[in-house]
Amino acid sequence: MKYAIIIPCFNEVDSLHITLKSIYEAMNGRQDVEILLLDNGSSDGSQEYAESLGVNVYKVPDVKISRLRNIGAGKSTARYFLFLDADVKVPKNWLSTLDLYADAGGTSFWADVVGFVDHAPRQAPWFARIWGLRASAKRSEVMSVDSLPGRNIFIDRRWFELVGGFNESLITGEDKDFVLRLKRAGAKVISDPQLDMLHLGYEKTFWEWIRKEYWRQHSHISLIKSNGLCFRLLRFPLASVLHLPISFCVLVLLCLNEPMLAMGALLLSLVASFLISAKHSVSRSSIGRLFQFTLLYWLRFHVAGISVLVEFFQLKKS
């Protein structure tokens, strides 16, 4: 078997229907591909639907997503693993493009690990589409990277086994930890934006976006403990925590009836978000787009700061 497509799933039957249909279209009758669904205790018919299509379904309830992916890898003898979430629609040329990487040998097209850039569909709310554009802007060309989203990773089996798979102790951030360990081991990790991949698991409401960001940022300290102190891992959590006292000062100054000083503090807290937003042409395309990016980055810093502090005190208690 050449490829094993490993899909973690929990109550995602609607998007799973689209994901599996797109995979079978990409397979186009190929016999060197197997699909493994690792179900985390779904009750919406996800298991039954996948089984009806001939997918190998393994029921693994109440475990972290890293454990699901590792179990899926252990169930397969394929040469390459394709880690895909149940809410990602792949294009028809997905596998044929991966063949170019897998069969490239030592050529310039060769890579050990590849992640394609996915984006939210047109019907997604503005904040979900903007957040999808953020990834597109950062990975707008084929490039070497030290971070990839776990929902969309191609990897040579030998590299997966060399680093021991995903870190099962992490609640989130397991994909970043995984790629960092691969890079340290000498793997060539590439991001490729050429395929039109859709992420159907976009946030439907603004509150959902905030909750997901809180969850995504909840393993920074664990990542540092696993990978050691380095600027790459320290810069974002530190910047996030520093945003909190600045915003607190804004509230205090408003309570003290000092609107000009409050405005100055608010502008100071927006500097980092504005500079990050202005870095890419996609966010500079209009004043409105630049404002949207700046607002989301500003909110993300605050949500992440709270998440980092909560994680710190949780770990301290344990």
DSSP state of 302: H
d(CA 32, CA 108): 25
pLDDT, tens digit, 9 for 90 and up, residues 262-284? 999 999 999 999 999 998 777 77
**pLDDT of amino acid 105:** 64
**pLDDT of amino acid 228:** 84
Average of per-residue pLDDT values in the chain = 92
**pLDDT of amino acid 107:** 56
Task: For the beta carbon of residue 64, count every other beta carbon within 10 angstroms.
Answer: 18
* Position 286 confidence tier, pLDDT thresholds 50, 70, 90: confident
pLDDT, tens digit, 9 for 90 and up, residues 245-259? 999 999 999 999 999
Residue 142 scores a pLDDT above 90: no
**pLDDT of amino acid 304:** 96
d(CA 267, CA 240): 16
Q: Out of 37-41, 48-52, 102-106, 196-200, which region has the weakest mean confidence (pLDDT)?
A: 102-106
User: What's the pTM value of the predicted model, to 2 decimals?
Assistant: 0.90
Beta-bridged to residue 199, according to DSSP, are 88
E strand residue ranges, the chain: 3-9, 33-39, 56-59, 80-84, 88-89, 113-119, 143-144, 152-156, 189-199
What percentage of the chain carries pLDDT values higher than 90? 73
E strand residue ranges, 159-296: 189-199
